[in-house]
Structure 1
Amino acid sequence: MEGGRTARAALTDVKTRVDRAAARVREEGTALEAKRTAYESFVRRVAAVPTEPAPSGAPRATATTGAQFRAAATGGDGCRAVRKAFAETVRPHSIADVDDPESLSATIRNELTDAVADALAPATGAAFTPKAKRAVVAEARTQRAGVAVTDRALDREAASLDDAAADVEDVTSWVAAAERTPLSELGFDALRDRHRTLAAHRERCEATVADRQSFLRESTGRSAAVEVGHRALALYLYQGLPVNYPALSAVARLDGVCESCQRAVRAHLVRRA
């Protein structure tokens, strides 16, 4: 229909795009599960670190400056234990895809907060006070919750991809099978039926694109503070692939194949009318 080898190459490309997207989702799912487990381990280890009394004359706590986490430059054994726990649990998963790893303090700052990073910074020699401990544990749990939300968004992305992949498989299988019979061997009625079937497949492609676009406009989360936009997640997931939206591009390419096939069938129908 589209032209033997050209059609087969196009169909292979369509399936490859969807398969690569699905592989990225699986990879990210594995990474998220490992990071969630790492945060759970980090929280347990921090909970086991003994707290230290704040030195006398410590600055009054203020939520805006993070001073509640800092004390005079004494003590620091607890903070060192927390930094070590973070380095051995969360950090490997945070810098796994970074070519030039940042410092431990920078990773703590990026994963947790500026205030927590300042509280744990070795230069301060700060005491690991009960208030500092609560702050570290609370922020780690917040980050763990964020990982859980991202994981749920990833599950929804996988389901959306599965739906698109099922449509792609059905249409590509039909086109591949139809390609085995030259149009010249088909009668007028068979050509007309093929044209109608191709039209139905194109409508299915359009519906798949519409569903996928609608999904990308949505988000997963319990609140604006802990929410993952599906479009942003897709852009992150597929940034290493040739196209930003592999499922959409695959279905669009498949629709193009069906359109080309339709034109070829229509040409035969006109000649025989």
Structure 2
Amino acid sequence: MTGTTAVHRALEHIAEEWETVADRDAALETFTQRVRAIPAEQPSALQARQAATPTATQAIQVRGAAPSAADDRCATVRTAFDETIGSNSGYENESRFEAMAAALTEDVAAALATDAGWTPPLKAAVLEAVSTSRRNLAIRRGILQEERATLEAAMTEIDEIVSWLQATADESFLQCGFDDLRAKHERLETYQDRLETRLSRRQAQFSRSTARDGTDGSRYRSIVTSIHANSPTRYPLLSTVTRLYSVCDGCQRAVRAHLTRRV
């Protein structure tokens, strides 16, 4: 193994994702400010009563709300979306509706697309959808912080083990005394124990939901794997630690064979 492992590269992916999350959150914040500045038009009580059995989209809009031909405020909201969230790199390959549905829910996206009126219920729904998206980003940011700390701690341990293996790679066991061989055997045993503990902790991390998740919340594993989805290794820490454990095991067996011959 070299000094640059999948874990080292994974830290670079975490840094890139951190920037992406920051950009998206900034876009959502700007969009929120622009939406708050657009006054909503209150439909008449008669128009509200005419909505007999509204759909989810109609319930948000309050069916029958009259649009303003002179000042299409839904169009203003859509323009604000295009110039903030829609221009974010995370949505560049999607249509406007797909991007709005992803960021604001399908119901809100459909309501904004119909030009039925920028009503207080619709404005509130847009702002709530943005708040939900920002809360989800906050959860993702928290996971990124934990993942970065996990990888940095693992990298320190991995670098220590790899450095020792590289330093002893050219040594001849035939020239080592019995005590030296036994010390190497014990050190390798210690390394394997530490790597096993690292693997167990990682599996425990993957088996739980994030602290703020509900029953349908994203699990730690799904978020982490999505970050590394385009990498050759989707589980860089597990892969690196497992491989390093195998290297230590092979070295230990070689040392044990020399010890056995000298007993």
Distance 1:184 1:38 in 2: 65
Distance 1:107 1:95 in 2: 9
Task: Give matches, 1:86-97, under 5 Å.
Answer: 86-93=81-88, 95-96=90-91
Distance 1:61 1:171 in 2: 70
Please tell me whether the aligned partners of residues 183 and 191 of structure 1 are also in contact (alpha carbons under 8 angstroms). Answer: yes
Which residue of structure 2 aligns with residue 42 of structure 1? Answer: 31
Out of 239, 256, 259, which is 1:249 matched to? 239
- Paired residue total: 257
Which residue of structure 2 aligns with residue 260 of structure 1? Answer: 250
Distance 1:265 1:43 in 2: 64
Please tell me whether the aligned partners of residues 103 and 129 of structure 2 are also in contact (alpha carbons under 8 angstroms). Answer: no
Which residue of structure 1 aligns with residue 198 of structure 2? Answer: 208
Deviations 1:87-107 (A, max 9, x none): 1111233635x6xx2210121
Counterpart residue identity of residue 163, structure 2: S
Q: 1:134: Cα distance to partner? A: 1.0
Q: 1:225: Cα distance to partner? A: 6.4
Q: Which has the higher contact order (CA 8 A, sep 6+)?
A: 1
SS in 1 for 2:99: helix
Query: Structure 1 residues 22, 254: CA separation in 2 closer, same or farther (over 3 Å shift)?
Result: same
Counterpart residue identity of residue 145, structure 1: R
Task: Give matches, 1:102-251, under 5 Å.
Answer: 102-121=94-113, 124-224=114-214, 227-251=217-241
Counterpart residue identity of residue 83, structure 2: E
Deviations 1:172-225 (A, max 9, x none): 111112224222221111011101111111111101100111111122242406
Confirm whether residue 25 of structure 1 aligns to residue 14 of structure 2.
yes
Identity of matched residues, %: 37
Which residue of structure 2 aligns with residue 5 of structure 1? Answer: none
Distance 1:136 1:80 in 2: 14
Distance 1:95 1:247 in 2: 26
Runs of 4+ aligned structure 1 residues displaced above 6 Å come to none
Query: Structure 1 residues 78, 266: CA separation in 2 closer, same or farther (over 3 Å shift)?
Result: same
Please tell me whether the aligned partners of residues 199 and 238 of structure 2 are also in contact (alpha carbons under 8 angstroms). Answer: yes
Q: 1:52: Cα distance to partner? A: 2.5
Distance 2:172 2:139 in 1: 51
Confirm whether residue 74 of structure 1 aligns to residue 67 of structure 2.
yes
In structure 1, runs of 5+ residues without a counterpart are 1-10
Deviations 1:78-136 (A, max 9, x none): 1111111111111233635x6xx221012111221222111110xx2221112211111
Query: Structure 1 residues 193, 92: CA separation in 2 closer, same or farther (over 3 Å shift)?
Result: same
Counterpart residue identity of residue 39, structure 2: P
Counterpart residue identity of residue 121, structure 2: K
Distance 1:221 1:206 in 2: 25
Which residue of structure 1 aligns with residue 5 of structure 2? Answer: 16
For normalisation by structure 2, the TM-score amounts to: 0.89
Query: Structure 1 residues 256, 208: CA separation in 2 closer, same or farther (over 3 Å shift)?
Result: same
Larger mean CA deviation between 162-171 and 190-199 belongs to 162-171
Q: 1:62: Cα distance to partner? A: 6.7
Distance 1:134 1:255 in 2: 54
Distance 2:37 2:219 in 1: 36
Q: 1:63: Cα distance to partner? A: 7.6
Deviations 1:117-161 (A, max 9, x none): 11110xx22211122111111111111111111111111111221
SS in 1 for 2:136: helix
For normalisation by structure 1, the TM-score amounts to: 0.86
Query: Structure 1 residues 210, 261: CA separation in 2 closer, same or farther (over 3 Å shift)?
Result: same
In structure 2, runs of 5+ residues without a counterpart are none
Q: 1:67: Cα distance to partner? A: 1.0
Counterpart residue identity of residue 74, structure 1: P
Which residue of structure 2 aligns with residue 6 of structure 1? Answer: none
